[in-house]
Structure 1
C-alpha cells in the first residue's frame, strides 16, 4: 500500500483507456472533490500553450471546483480550435458522469505535441474512471501513475498538521501528485501537478498561497532549460476538515506546509529527470534581494558548461564564478566566495588551495 493518502472529501482514480496505445498502460487520471472547492492554478509562461491550459485559465480562480481530469500520451497542444473543443468536451463528459457543472471541471494533458486527442477512447474511459473513484492510497497512486510520461516513478507528497479555524483545532491534510522528467526549467516547465487540501480557503487566499509556494519550488528547478506548452499546478481546497476559516497563525502554518509539499514534489522531478546523474542545490548567500539571488542561481544552473563540468566530475569551479558575473546582478569580484560540498575553493575574489 502507498504511504501517501488523500485529504478528506477527495477521491482519485487512474485507468488505461488506450490514449498511449500500450495495452494496459495507465493514461487517464481523475481527481474529484466531493464538495465544491476553492480552485486556483498557475500555468506555463510559454506563449504557445496547450488547449487544456487555455480552458483552465478561463475557469480559475473559482469557488466551486469539483474535478481535474488528466490524460497522458498526448499534450493536446498546437491543435487549434479542434484541440480547444476536445479539451472542453473532456470536462463535459466528466461533469455528466459526476452530475456537476462542466465549468467546475479542469483538464490537463501531457505527452506528444501536435496530435489530436483520440476522443472516442477518452469519452469511453472517463465514465470508467468515475466508477473507479475512491479515497484510498491505492487509487491515489494509480492516478499518479496515470499522468506519467517519461517519468520512471510516480511523484506524490502528503502532509498533515493541526490548524485552528472558527470551529476550533482540526487536522488538516495537503496531498499532491505531479509528473515531469524533461523540458524542465524555471518559470514552470513540462510538469503537471494537482494539490488537494481539506483546509477551508477562499479562492483569493488559495491563489496567494499557491503562487508563493510555486515560486519557492517549481520555479526554482532546471534540467535543460526548455519551457513546455502544458505546465500546470492546481490547488483545490474543499474545507472538509471542518476547520472553518483559518486564523492568521494557522494560515501561516498552512503556507509552510504547502511550501513543503511543493518542494518535495519539485525535488522529485529533478531526481527523476531524463539523463540526470547529479542532484545539485545552489545556495546564494548575501544577495541584496531574493530576486537577485534567484537570478544568480538560475544563471549558474542553466549554464551548459556548469552542467557538463558537474556531469564529468570536472573541478573547473571558475565556470561557476564566471556565471555569477554575467547574471546581470551588480556585484564586486572581491566580494565573491564559493563553497562546493562544504569545501571552500574561492574566497573574497581569490582562489584557495584544496585537495581533491
Structure 2
C-alpha cells in the first residue's frame, strides 16, 4: 500500500505506537513461521483516522497490520474479525481487496486484536491537487472506475460468498440512524448546533429500501489504492462493512466526491446516474441518503475529535478534524430541505 506514507522508521525489532514489533514477530514465528525472515521494522501508515494501520517488513516481505485505535473504542465499531472476514470472502469476486493472511483475536499479543494482510502496490489520492496533476481524461476515468467498483461490490450475492449472516438488513437504514446517534452521544465533548434536528428529521423520513447487499460503510476514493493506469487495485478500510442498503454507500460517496474539485471529476448527479445505469437501482430517494451520509460523517469526525482532545490519536492532522463537523451538519439539513 504505497499511497499512505510511514510516519515512523524504528530500528529493527523496535516498537511503534500501539504495535510492539518484537511481540508481533513472536506471534508470526508461532503462526506463520515461513512468512518473514529476520527482525521487523516499519511505521504507522498516514491517512487513517480510526483504526490504526502499519506497514512492517523484514526487508524482503512487505505486510500491513490493522488494529483498533488506542483508546475510546466504541462497541462493534472496530471489529478486526469483521474486516478480516469480509475481505477474505470477497477475494474471489471482482471486488479488489488485499490478500488477508492472519487474524489474531487475542488482545494479549500486541495489546489489541489485529489482522495481517499483504502489501498492495498503489497510490492513494486524497486531495484535488493530486487529481489535477493527472489531467481531466484520467480523472474522469478514475471516477468511472470508482463507481464501477462500488457497483461490483453491490452485485455480490452475500450467500454466494458466505456472508449471508454478516448483518441484519431488515430495518437497516432506521437502525443506522439510531446507531450513529448512539455513537454521537458516546463521543460528546462540545455543543454541536443543528445535529439533533438533523437526526430527528432523518429518523422521521427513512425511505423504503430495496434489496440488501454487502455495503462497505465508508466507500470513497481515498479508501482505495489506484494503479498507474487508473484501475482500482484494492478497496481498503472495511471496518464498517455489513449487509444493508447499498444506497448508503452511494450517498456517502457523493458527499466525499463533492469535495474533489478537480477538472474531469464528475458532478455528484453524474456519479449517481452512472451508478444507476450500472446497477439498475432506483435512486429517487438519494437526497435522504446524502443527508444521512452528512450526519454519519459528522459523527465519525466528532469521534476522531473526541479522541484527539484526549490524546488518543496517532499521527498528524487530527487538530483540524473538529472544524469539519459543523459544515457537514449544515449540509445535511440543507439537503433534507431540498428533498
TM bin (shorter chain):
under 0.3
* Greater fraction strand: 1
* Greater fraction helix: 2
Larger Rg: 1
